[in-house]
Amino acid sequence: MIEVKGIIKKFGPVEVLKGITFSVDKGEIVGFLGVNGAGKTTMMRILTSFLPATDGEARVAGFDVQKQHLKVRENIGYLPENPPLYDNMSVVKYLEFAARLKNIRGRKLKEDVARAVGRCHLQDVVKRRIGILSKGYKQRIGLAQAILNEPKVLILDEPTTGLDPIQVDQFRKLLNELKQEHTVILSTHVLTEIERVAERVLILKDGRIGLDAKVEELVAQDGTLEKTFMGFNESCTN
């Protein structure tokens, strides 16, 4: 479903990604880990075709992210760390607007919006103005727009940043529901979130894939994913 080969990304003289290679199979849920500046968000933006790579190749659902970017965007749902919401719009009007941007029209637009509202549990606030809603609801709205086009791949960048513990738990349950139908890449600093949702973890270190392993195996080995992550970073700096 996702194939990445030798991706390099430079910003001027600074090489942020240094030959990233990995793949994600259909239906797999992969956690992206790394300290700030490791290159997680840059890699995600390349996969969503919002940012071009300097070198290398990446394909999503069989389409080249640089040469076939429109096809790529038809097959992905992207939730950035800060969803681009419009506070003066109601939830339903915003989702209808987002659906039209995704070229969804007519009866299908209404059906897809209703489906996204239901799956993200937004029925109680669907007519409310986004600006008065909590951070938790705003993240759900962002996720709802990401799944409007029934994408094969979901790319979620720090989806629980700024949420309180109850909201994090609600969002985690929502991800567990959605992962049954989508291939998911999840970037987060909340390691327990990856333990409970993801099947596999990729740890980025200084622009490279430093570790690619099954979450279950790492937890069995170290007790928690946090110990694995901390131990990995310490070993890289020694």
Where are the domains positioned within the chain? 2-75+152-237, 84-150
The phi, psi pair for 17, rounded to 5°, reads -115, 130
Report yes or no: 181 and 151 within 8 Å, Cβ to Cβ. no
Taking the C-alpha atoms of residue 238 and residue 20, their distance in angstroms, rounded to an integer, is 23
Q: Both tokens of residue 11?
A: 């910003």
Which alpha helices (DSSP H) does the chain contain, by range?
Answer: 40-47, 69-74, 91-101, 106-119, 135-147, 165-178, 191-197, 215-222, 225-237
DSSP annotation of 122 reads: -
- Which pLDDT value is given to residue 232? 65
- Kindly tell me the burial class for residue 218, based on how many C-beta atoms sit within 10 Å of its own C-beta (0-12, 13-18, 19 or more): buried
**Which amino acid, 105?**
R
Q: Both tokens of residue 50?
A: 């919002």
- Which pLDDT value is given to residue 233? 61
CATH fold of the domain at 2-75+152-237: Rossmann fold (3.40.50)
Give pLDDT tens digits along the chain (238 positions). Answer: 899 999 999 999 999 999 999 999 988 889 988 887 788 889 999 999 989 999 999 999 999 999 998 899 889 999 988 888 999 999 999 999 999 999 999 999 999 999 999 989 899 999 999 999 998 899 899 999 999 988 999 999 888 877 788 878 887 888 777 777 889 999 877 777 788 888 899 988 889 998 898 988 887 887 777 777 676 665 554 4
For the residues of 14-42, what is the DSSP string, one character each?
EEEEEEEEEEE-TT-EEEEE--TTSSHHH
DSSP annotation of 93 reads: H
- Which pLDDT value is given to residue 179? 75
- Which pLDDT value is given to residue 238? 47
Taking the C-alpha atoms of residue 50 and residue 187, their distance in angstroms, rounded to an integer, is 17
Report yes or no: 157 and 83 within 8 Å, Cβ to Cβ. no
